[in-house]
Amino acid sequence: MNRIILILIIANVLVSLKGFNDFGFFEKYKFQVGSIRRGEKLRMFTSGFLHVDYLHLFLNMYALYLFGKVVAVNFGEINFLLIYFGSLLAGSMYSLYQHKNEYYYSAVGASGGVSGIIFSAILLYPDMSLIMLPIPIPLPGYVFGIGYLLYSIYGMKSNLGNIGHSAHLGGAIGGFALTLLLKPYIFTKEPMLVVIMGAIILGLLFFGDKINFKK
């Protein structure tokens, strides 16, 4: 395993375990709109190392392990960290924007950073086979990526489940943008994929406020 990925996993496990057993610690470092707007910006990063429970922690770390090694091999350690933490910040910023008037909205999890790594891997290898539950069949990476974007948009706009869809979506956008910035050859190698994903993202950013799936 790449040492940077191993360090990130260990850090997530240690901080999450501390949060599981120390309510005050969890409350102090989780993502919370009201606290962040009062100046506690560090929460936008520290919340990415906290998790709700063991399953939440395992799923994020397993995804980081699976996709992280692909990204680390192609980018090296410094740029891998840039994509991970840039995506984590993008997820937090997008969540803050979407919930800016919900002062008690809170969230935790590495999902923003992990989503960025997943999308980076998809851009590098769009034909990789992935499974998107509840569909129990392998899908090409580019289909998974487009489906992930659309599902996250739907989940965010309809408040589907107890999931931070906005952090997933913001992280995916961050990973998409940073990967193209660092590997611009992807524009010519996978132009249709870049155009389709870019169109969905731009449509969300410019017209997302008008989308409403609530009944």
Q: What is the pLDDT of residues 109-128, one digit of tens each?
A: 898 999 999 899 989 998 88
The pLDDT assigned to 127 comes to: 86
Strands (E), the chain: 31-32, 106-107, 129-131, 138-140
- 3-state secondary structure at position 129: strand
The pLDDT assigned to 9 comes to: 97
Q: What is the pLDDT of residues 33-91, one digit of tens each?
A: 999 999 999 999 999 999 989 988 998 998 899 899 999 999 999 999 999 999 999 99
The pLDDT assigned to 207 comes to: 67
Q: Percent of the chain scored above 90 by pLDDT?
A: 55
Q: What is the pLDDT of residues 157-176, one digit of tens each?
A: 666 544 567 888 899 899 99
Concatenate the DSSP letters of all residues of 147-166 into one string: HHHHHHHHHHHHT-SS--HH
Q: pTM for the whole thing? A: 0.88
The pLDDT assigned to 215 comes to: 46
Domains, the chain, ranges and CATH?
3-210 (1.20.1540.10)
Q: What integer is the mean pLDDT of 167-193? A: 93
Whether the upstream peptide bond of residue 140 has omega within 30° of 0, thus cis, is no
